[in-house]
Structure 1
Amino acid sequence: MSYRELATRPVLSWSAVVVASRLPVAMAPLALVFLVRERPGGYTLGAVLAAVYVIGEIIAAPVLGLRMNPGRARPQLVAGLAAGAAGFAGLGLLGGDGHPVLLGGCAFLAGAGPAAVPGGLRALLTSLVPEGAVTQAMSMESVLTFAIWAAAPALVTGLALGTDPAVPLLLQGVLQALAVAGMWLLPPGWQNDSEDGKKGAGAGASLGRLLARAWPVYVTGAAGLTLLALAELILPALLEQRAVAIGWAGPLLAGFSLGSAVGAFLYGLRGSWPGRLPVQAAVLTLAVAAGVALVAVLPWTAAMAAGLVAAGLLQAPAMLTRNLALREALPPEAVAAGYSVMYAAVGAGYAASGTLAGGLLKVVAPSTAILCGVVLTVTLAAVGFWGERRIAGARAVEEGPGVVKEGV
């Protein structure tokens, strides 16, 4: 199927809701830094608020995702978006002079409230298109997501410096409130009543056990975000090491995002690619790791730019294959919860990599810190691939007698 077949009213409505709900998320860390940067110790407080926001996401995503009702998800999604809108509005109204505890509480609410929304909306998207168009739909989602993440920093910077540091947070609250209204343009859930009684592969198994069986996909997902953290957090220090103007960090990261958007689009042009999804995910993650490693060792700015664009080109397909593999590994009633757990896992991978990078930069050169992060990524990818192979082997053993019986 082609991308043209996604141009339906439900998918366009879904896209509008996604922009309104995810743009505030993409804006959040930088907006929190700008909000408090002019007060004493503002940059440190901004980093703490951003960390509190991310912790809220990591904690709440699996907890709320596990409670998502596939047939009647709208009330939960609306409540989460409303909580996020309240958190962002509270931050904007308190302003940069607000008490740190109150600001931290609002930041936690803004992160935790809508943490399960991305997973729910992704599950909803796959129910709006035919089965044969799922790959294209998820590719389209990735293109949209990378476009949002590319636009967010410029939007925050322009509003914070051109008007007032509180304006981006107030806009984020308004956007999530608009997403609440937009939810009534979409179906109430992604699984109808007749499907509720057909648990398929999930019959007799608890949701927690089903999600636990997909742990290799979460590990591979964390590996992928480790690379993204390396590219974003260490690049400025690497440029200084290379005696390159730090202003190149923005264009280089924009090239990474542009490459990712193009990679997502190209991946969706074909309905299927050679190899099983877990194998594709592992190979693509290792290829992205190789691109980031080249950025660490090549001294020329043009070569670094080429390495980042190439890494971005493969990063999006790597993310897509992980999401598709997770959808393949779980029954329909567990997919949204699985996406939420994945959301928490990749957030944890990003945070762990950022912590590692910060610690390493105190004792080694930026290029060495990147290479250490690449080693961590390769290790996580190898563990995830080993886990997937082990689970696939165990599943084949379990299904073996049944297959023989059918043959007889």
Structure 2
Amino acid sequence: MSYRDIASRQTLAWAAVSVGARMPVAMAPLALVFLVRERDGGYTLGAMLAAAYVIGEIAGAPFLGMRMRAERARPQLAAGLAAGAVGFGALGALPGAPAAVLAVCAFVAGAAPAAAPGGLRALLNGMVPERAVAQAMSAESILVFMIWAAAPATVAGLALGVAPGLPLLLAAVLMALSVPGLWTLPAGWKADESDREGESMLRIMARAWPVYVTGAAGLSLLALAELILPALLEQREISVGMSGPLLAGLAVGSAAGSFVYGLRTWPGRLRRQSLVCMLGVCGCLAVVAVLPTAPWLAVVLVCAGFLQAGAMLTRHLTLREVLPPSALAAGYSVMYAAVGAGYAASGSLAGALLSVTTPSTAILAGVALTVVLTLVGTLAEVRPAPAPAPAPAPAPDVPAPSNSVARPS
């Protein structure tokens, strides 16, 4: 299969809707900081609002995702995106509101549309032939990395050049425009609820926990790179302004890795591919901790991004193997929450370590923790599932005596 096999008007419409739904997510944390930075304690308040937004995402994704139904996903996605647009609009229109009001709006903006990425991914899976799913997921990954590369410059330009609230108002408009765009896509995707065999959605999600652990580990590496890199550059006596181009190189490497992954079928099972890519990213970041010059840092970060794309894609494809079709949107949403939690936890760990040790040591400690999480998740995946209990033998057919009393079954 090639990328030509997934190109169609419908997938282009899906891409447009995805940009409207996901660009606000990529803009939100930095936009919230710029929104209040000129107030008293602005940066602290901005960090608090960004935390409220991320907590909303982490809480909303599994809660709403597990309630999404395959055949009628459209109204659920539309309601979430519309509520998210209201949350973003309120933030942009009321920059001087009390901190508590802004925190509630940030939580709503994060929580309400949090199931949209999982739902849109499930829609895309249903729109392409089964044999082209890997190419579709790779194309989606390229789109996401392009969005995340464009978002910081968009936010900074609008907030500093025009008005602090404008990035959030733009986010509201984009998310609102994605709602009518849903009607250009299928109403849902085909999935027979009987494929769950009577299991509750919560039990099905719990069954895939090793995939979520390795997914969270993968994003924790991105947090390490983003949050510790400026301090590491300062330690190496390199201009902190180089952090922007270096992180852009990381994003470009990820986009290139996504494209290459979709070009062919790769040897080995998905969990083995994931393990190789994750260990490769860990190795790259360990090297970053000791490299002395910016050009070598750029090369290694591009390589890290390239491998990280493979790690992320194999995790999403593994979910398709371990979950029934009717639970895929929920699985993607739980993964979204898991990687968000991994990013937040790694960011907190990075902040704590930087207060007691050097940036290079902090990176190495984070890499060591990521390796442990990766091995735990991988070993849990290869553990054989318990064999089902044998069905009881049917009772012999014994005719009832003529004076027996029939009992209700």
Deviations, residues 273-324 of structure 1 (Å, cap 9, x unaligned)? 1111111112111110111111011112111111100000111111000000
Deviations, residues 61-97 of structure 1 (Å, cap 9, x unaligned)? 10001100111001110010001100000001102x2
* Residue 125 (str. 1) matches residue 124 (str. 2): yes
Give yes or no for contact 1:225–1:347 (8 Å, CA) kept in 2. yes
Give the residue type in structure 1 aligned to 2:19.
V
Give the residue type in structure 2 aligned to 1:300.
T
Give the aligned partner of residue 385 of structure 2: 394
Identify the range of structure 1 (348-357 vs 281-290) with the bigger mean alpha-carbon deviation. Answer: 281-290
| Alpha-carbon separation, structure 2, partners of 1:43 and 1:288 | 31
Give the residue type in structure 2 aligned to 1:351.
A
Give the aligned partner of residue 365 of structure 1: 358
Give the aligned partner of residue 404 of structure 1: none
* Residue 62 (str. 1) matches residue 58 (str. 2): no
| Alpha-carbon separation, structure 2, partners of 1:99 and 1:175 | 26
Give the residue type in structure 1 aligned to 2:6.
L
| Alpha-carbon separation, structure 1, partners of 2:343 and 2:295 | 26
Give yes or no for contact 2:55–2:107 (8 Å, CA) kept in 1. yes
| Alpha-carbon separation, structure 1, partners of 2:274 and 2:7 | 28
Q: Quick one: which of 205, 210, 217 aligns to 1:211? A: 205
Give yes or no for contact 1:85–1:176 (8 Å, CA) kept in 2. yes
Give yes or no for contact 2:33–2:42 (8 Å, CA) kept in 1. yes
TM-aligned CA deviation for residue 167 of structure 1: 0.5
Alignment of 1:256-271 (within 5 A): 256-270=250-264
| Alpha-carbon separation, structure 1, partners of 2:42 and 2:388 | 57
TM-aligned CA deviation for residue 259 of structure 1: 0.2
| Alpha-carbon separation, structure 1, partners of 2:30 and 2:141 | 21
Give the aligned partner of residue 246 of structure 2: 252
Give the aligned partner of residue 403 of structure 2: none
TM-aligned CA deviation for residue 353 of structure 1: 0.2
| Alpha-carbon separation, structure 1, partners of 2:108 and 2:287 | 39
| Alpha-carbon separation, structure 2, partners of 1:52 and 1:242 | 34
CA RMSD after TM alignment: 1.3
Q: Quick one: which of 289, 295, 310 aligns to 1:296? A: 289
Give the aligned partner of residue 335 of structure 2: 342
Alignment of 1:153-172 (within 5 A): 153-172=152-171
Q: Quick one: which of 351, 375, 385 aligns to 1:382? A: 375
Deviations, residues 24-70 of structure 1 (Å, cap 9, x unaligned)? 00000000000000111000000000000000000111000110011
Give the aligned partner of residue 278 of structure 2: 285
TM-aligned CA deviation for residue 400 of structure 1: 11
Give yes or no for contact 2:61–2:337 (8 Å, CA) kept in 1. yes
Give the aligned partner of residue 181 of structure 1: 180
Give the aligned partner of residue 229 of structure 1: 223
Give the aligned partner of residue 138 of structure 1: 137
Identify the range of structure 1 (1-10 vs 48-57) with the bigger mean alpha-carbon deviation. Answer: 1-10
TM-aligned CA deviation for residue 204 of structure 1: 2.1
| Rg larger for | 2
Q: Quick one: which of 305, 311, 315 aligns to 1:318? A: 311
| Alpha-carbon separation, structure 2, partners of 1:368 and 1:283 | 24
| Alpha-carbon separation, structure 2, partners of 1:224 and 1:157 | 27
TM-aligned CA deviation for residue 207 of structure 1: 1.3
Q: Which has the higher helix share?
A: 1
**TM-score with structure 1 setting the length:** 0.94
Give yes or no for contact 1:71–1:196 (8 Å, CA) kept in 2. no
Give the aligned partner of residue 106 of structure 1: 105
Give the aligned partner of residue 196 of structure 1: 192
Structure 1: which 5+ residue stretches go unaligned? 402-408
Structure 2: which 5+ residue stretches go unaligned? 392-409
Give yes or no for contact 2:230–2:240 (8 Å, CA) kept in 1. yes
| Alpha-carbon separation, structure 2, partners of 1:394 and 1:50 | 40
Give the aligned partner of residue 406 of structure 1: none
Displaced runs of 4+ in structure 1, greater than 4 A? Answer: 397-401
| Alpha-carbon separation, structure 2, partners of 1:182 and 1:75 | 12
| Alpha-carbon separation, structure 2, partners of 1:399 and 1:259 | 48
| Alpha-carbon separation, structure 1, partners of 2:169 and 2:71 | 33
Give the aligned partner of residue 267 of structure 2: 274
